[in-house]
Amino acid sequence: MSPERLLAELNLSWLDISALVFFLVCWIGYPLFAVWRGRRSPSLHSTMDRYRRDWMLRMIERDNRMVDVNIMRNLTRSSQFFASTTMLVLGALIALLGYVQQAMDVVSGLPFTVKASQRLLEIKMLLLVLIFVYAFFKFSWAIRQLGFCSTLIGAAPKMPKENPEQYAPEINRIAAITSYAGTNFNNGLRSYYFALAAMTWFLHPWLMLAATAWVVYVLQHREFASLTLRTLQANDTSTDARY
């Protein structure tokens, strides 16, 4: 089938193609951009990495590590919540694929919407399925990594308070895996932001372009220029700023 015939069957305009390509570039490229910029300027993730290492320094000095176990449990629960929520969303989206015609009737009745073919509507739904499948894999991998960290915390021996840095390899290992889990959790959470942008494609491709750009702006601002980041970096933690 020729590209022209395929585009005609899908009723896919060049504006739809441009919106989809722009969305995929932003969704796939933003995590890479965040890692690249995080190596050159302070970010929430790099700043929290310092606190993660400080946490492991304190942990390795303690006899009773129930505080550390409870913190790890809370982190795991956050990933478990989003993983289970993602499965519910995927179930709803897969069920919706069986009611494409009804969805078309609902969308076409909204103002300022572009009429789409049934095949194009299915592509839009499959894009959301792809996003949430990716999010589920990220959240589930974060859960496993946090489980590994819990095991490493339990296996870490108690070290003297005078010089815990002599056990830097053990400290760095646990802090690094905790950081990896944080990265995967962030990528899964970002998928929810981009899923909101992808939903606007059901209304209009121009709206999808604007929503995708807005999501990228919000993500980079929170990661690299938020008041939370400034507070984490400040020596004086007292602040009356609004978050």
Q: How far apart are CA 49 and CA 51, in angstroms?
A: 5
Number of domains in the chain: 1
pLDDT for residue 90 is more than 50:
yes
The 10s digit of each residue's pLDDT in 19-53 is 999 999 999 999 999 999 988 899 999 999 999 98
Residue 160, domain member (yes or no): yes
Yes or no: say if 145 and 177 are a contact pair by the CB < 8 Å rule.
yes
Residue 94, domain member (yes or no): yes
> Structure pTM?
0.86
- Residue among 47, 46, 29, 36 at smallest CA distance from 215: 29
Residue 11, domain member (yes or no): no
The 10s digit of each residue's pLDDT in 164-201 is 667 778 888 999 999 999 999 999 999 999 999 999 98
- Enter the DSSP assignment of 113: P
Residue 55, domain member (yes or no): no
pLDDT for residue 1 is more than 60:
no
pLDDT for residue 221 is more than 60:
yes
Q: Which domain holds residue 150?
A: 62-232
Element (H, E) at 28: helix 14-38
Residue 32, domain member (yes or no): no
pLDDT value at residue 131:
96
Residue 237, domain member (yes or no): no
The token pair at 128 is 């959301």
The one-letter amino acid code at 184 reads: N
- Residue among 81, 121, 124, 79 at smallest CA distance from 103: 121
66/243: higher pLDDT: 66
Supply the DSSP string of 60-99, one letter for each residue.
TT-S--HHHHHHHHHHHHHHHHHHHHHHHHHHHHHHHGGG
How many CA atoms lie less than 13 Å away from 70 in the CB half-sphere? 4
Sign of the alpha-carbon torsion through 103, 205, 135, 52: negative
pLDDT value at residue 9:
60
Coil, helix or strand at residue 108: helix
Residue 221, domain member (yes or no): yes
Considering the chain, what is the average pLDDT of its residues? 84
Residue 15, domain member (yes or no): no
pLDDT value at residue 211:
96
- Enter the DSSP assignment of 156: P
